[in-house]
Amino acid sequence: MNGIVLTITGAITLLIAALMFIMPTLMRPTLPLGVSIPHGRIGDPAVHRAIQRFRCGVAAAFIVSLAACLATSGGSPNLALLLPVPLMVVLGTVSYVLARRGILRAKREHDWYRGVPVRLTASVSAHDTVDTPVPATWFVASLLLLVAVAGFGISIYGALPDPMPIHWNAAGVVDGYAAKSAWSVFGAVCISIGVIVMLFAIAFWIRSAPMRRVGGDTPAQAQRRRHGQQHLTLELLGQTAALVAIVTACAVLQGWLAPHASHWSGAIGILTPALIVAVIAAFVVRWMRLNRSLSRPPAGSTNTPSADTPTPHPDTPDDDSHWKAGIIYINRDDPSILVPKRFGIGWTLNFGHPTGVLITLGILALVALLLISATIQPGS
Amino acid sequence: MDIELDPQSPVPIYQQLHDRIVEAMAAGDLEPGHALASVRHVALAFGINVATVGKAYDALRRQDLIVTNRKSGSVIAREPGMGTEPAFLADWTARLTTLLAEAVAHGMPDADVLGYCQHTIDSFAERRRRATEAHTRRTTTDTPSRGGKP
């Protein structure tokens, strides 16, 4: 049993490490490790060195996390289960913060932005921005699946055992029961439906976050990048909803139909990480393909005028000062609550915006509430 | 209609926004009835303060270049060749006098001053002509405007 838990923990840690490792490849070249650089400096030795250091740091963080997991597994299995993932995230972040300093130093010492023209580019027309459609099919199909599962549950409600098995240990053996009630039978389905509806709402909300032109992009390229990245991220959100629905459906059906079939729970235990890896891998491949199609014509050589770029496209202003440690965005002038992440996929909040601060406090309060309720429950 | 702002320029951002919109009108890129994005939307798109954009729109409104109403937002209200208001003429002549005086004071020959004026006016006309051409080509071939030129 211990072995399975440790394997899953190790696998999640490996997934996080792998994502951190390839992240520099996924990011735009004018923002290596979240440092804004002019596109004439793409491929600078300082940039290469910093990315190499970051990757070494991520590899070391993975080894340390794994070692911590193995070292604590004998004494306290709970610690071995809970420690590696946060440790990996923290150490990976530390190596990001340390490695990017190399680029910041080179940029400061050689004054990379001196004499480089920078421009902010955006449209002033009302009807220029075409919203990327939300892939509603994923969300609707996920909800339909869960509603069908709930409908099936209602039809067999009389035949379900009382008490209901509601919790399984890592080996797939029932270790928790609850009196049969609407909540113990349909609770998981309801929570999943809530999560999917929330993801659906978030999908609409993130479209309002601006994706501004990045350095060196022509306006046409900027638009393609905006639509491409929005499309892929919205698809990822939709696929996450589908994943939640499928895993919930399988787990709930097992609980109703065959709570003691450990081979079934074992299959779910394999299906879940396999689906997660498949979704992430497909996303990464499509993202890299998008980046490749956008970087044509190659921007490697400095300022060579080519037939495809009739007018030179200036860089975007150095906005490092708004990004604390290259992670936290604080810009009081920016009216946007959500902005694309500096390093990583997705969006982050603007802490210079009152609503951004409010949302963060709300999330922290929610997490605190969940933690408190989780620690109180076993005692009562 | 994309516009570029230079955050390092000594010219204030609101002034740049105002100037680029006026130039786009002269060049035929922004025609009468063309709806401008809302102040908030433009501020979001550039990542600049809402008040800065508001100031630029206020200036355009004061000059009657745009009109704003609740229903259709801010809309371009004037076009090249439609004639000017006397109040505008007085203000503009004063600014033009200073601008031309600067060139003369710097030692530019009169013919060159006129040459630059002519060149600027011609380039507006040329861009207007190309904008109309592109517009008619778009409407006649009836292709969706998405994607732009390859």
A115 vs A108: CA distance, rounded Å: 14
Q: Are A299 and A39 in contact (CB under 8 A)?
A: yes
List B residues 90-119 in contact with A (Cβ-Cβ < 8 A).
Answer: none
Q: Are A138 and A242 in contact (CB under 8 A)?
A: yes
Contact between chains at B45 and A123 (C-beta distance less than 8 A): yes
Contact between chains at B47 and A118 (C-beta distance less than 8 A): no
* 3-state secondary structure at position A52: helix
Chain A residues closer than 8 Å to B7 by CB: 118, 120, 317
Q: What does DSSP say about strands A347-349 and A328-329: parallel, antiparallel, or unpaired?
A: unpaired
Q: Quick one: chain A helix, strand, coil %, rounded to 5?
A: 65, 5, 30
Contact between chains at B48 and A210 (C-beta distance less than 8 A): no
Contact between chains at B49 and A210 (C-beta distance less than 8 A): no
Q: What is the pLDDT of residue A307?
A: 44
Chain B residues closer than 8 Å to A347 by CB: none
Chain A residues closer than 8 Å to B148 by CB: 220, 223
What predicted TM-score, i.e. pTM, was given to this entire model?
Answer: 0.83
**Cβ-based neighbour number of residue A44 at 10 Å:** 18
Chain A residues closer than 8 Å to B1 by CB: 123-125, 128
Q: What is the pLDDT of residue A301?
A: 41
Q: A173: phi > 0 → left, psi -120 to 50 → alpha, else beta; which?
A: beta
A40 contact partners, CB below 8 Å, separation of at least 6: A116, A302, A303
Contact between chains at B44 and A130 (C-beta distance less than 8 A): no
Determine contact: B87 vs chain A, CB below 8 A.
Answer: no
Nearest to A322 by CA among A352, A348, A344: A352
Contact between chains at B7 and A118 (C-beta distance less than 8 A): yes
A233 contact partners, CB below 8 Å, separation of at least 6: A206, A345, A346
Q: Which mean pLDDT values do the consecutive 10-residue runs of chain A (380 residues) have? A: 74 93 92 92 93 97 92 79 91 96 95 92 83 91 96 90 78 79 88 95 88 82 88 94 95 86 81 91 94 68 44 82 94 92 91 92 92 66
Q: Give ipTM to 2 decimals.
A: 0.84
Q: Show the low-confidence residues of chain B (pLDDT under 70).
A: 141-150
Q: How far is CA A333 from CA A95, A211, A282, B19, in A?
A: 30, 16, 37, 21
Closest residue in A to B52 (Cα–Cα): A333
Contact between chains at B38 and A126 (C-beta distance less than 8 A): yes
Closest residue in A to B56 (Cα–Cα): A124
Q: What is the pLDDT of residue A297?
A: 56
Q: What is the pLDDT of residue A379?
A: 43
**Cβ-based neighbour number of residue A162 at 10 Å:** 11
* Residues in chain A whose Cβ is within 8 Å of chain B: 117-130, 210, 212, 219-220, 223, 314, 317, 331, 333-336
Query: Does residue A297 have a cis peptide bond before it, meaning omega lies within 30 degrees of 0?
Result: yes
Determine contact: B61 vs chain A, CB below 8 A.
Answer: no
Nearest to B74 by CA among B149, B137, B18, B150: B18
Q: Are A212 and A316 in contact (CB under 8 A)?
A: yes
Q: Which of A128, A220, A335 sits opposite B50 (nearest CB)?
A: A335
* 3-state secondary structure at position A371: helix
Per-residue buried b or exposed e for B97-120, using 16+ beta carbons within 10 Å of the residue's own CB: eeebeeeeeeeeeeeebeeeeeee
Q: Are A155 and B36 in contact (CB under 8 A)?
A: no
Q: What is the pLDDT of residue A303?
A: 46
Determine contact: B127 vs chain A, CB below 8 A.
Answer: no
Strand partners, A174: A168
A119 vs A107: CA distance, rounded Å: 19
* Tokens of residue B13, six digits: 């951002």
Q: Which of B21, B40, B146 sits opposite A335 (nearest CB)?
A: B40
What single DSSP character describes residue A315?
A: B
Q: What is the pLDDT of residue A217?
A: 84
B97 vs A116: CA distance, rounded Å: 34
- Based on its alpha-carbon atoms, the radius of gyration of chain B, rounded to whole angstroms, reads 18
* 3-state secondary structure at position A103: helix
Burial (CB < 10 A; 0-12, 13-18, 19+), residue A85, is middle
Which of B41, B65, B135 to mutate to probe the A interface, most A CBs <10 Å?
B41
**Cβ-based neighbour number of residue B92 at 10 Å:** 12
Contact between chains at B48 and A121 (C-beta distance less than 8 A): no
- Is residue A349 within a helix (H) or strand (E), and if so which, with residue range? strand A347-349
Per-residue buried b or exposed e for A292-326, using 16+ beta carbons within 10 Å of the residue's own CB: eebeeeebeeeeeeeeeeeeebbbbbbbbebbeeb
Q: What is the pLDDT of residue A170?
A: 66
Q: Which of A125, A220, A334 sits opposite B47 (nearest CB)?
A: A334
Strand partners, A231: none
Determine contact: B148 vs chain A, CB below 8 A.
Answer: yes
Q: What is the pLDDT of residue B147?
A: 43
- Is residue B77 within a helix (H) or strand (E), and if so which, with residue range? none
The per-residue pLDDT for range B125-150, each reduced to its tens digit, is 999 999 888 878 877 765 444 444 43
Q: Is the dihedral of CA A327, A328, A330, A336 positive or negative?
A: positive
* Tokens of residue A91, six digits: 């150490």
* Tokens of residue A8, six digits: 């899953």
Q: What does DSSP say about strands A347-349 and B2-5: parallel, antiparallel, or unpaired?
A: unpaired
Chain B residues closer than 8 Å to A212 by CB: 45-47
Closest residue in B to A116 (Cα–Cα): B8
Q: Which of A125, A212, A333 sits opposite B1 (nearest CB)?
A: A125
CA of B7 to nearest chain A CA: how many angstroms apart?
7
Q: How far is CA A374 from CA A252, A371, A378, B87, in A?
A: 22, 5, 7, 72
A328 vs A349: CA distance, rounded Å: 8
Contact between chains at A128 and B49 (C-beta distance less than 8 A): no
Closest residue in B to A332 (Cα–Cα): B49
> What is the total residue count of chain A?
380
- Based on its alpha-carbon atoms, the radius of gyration of chain A, rounded to whole angstroms, reads 24
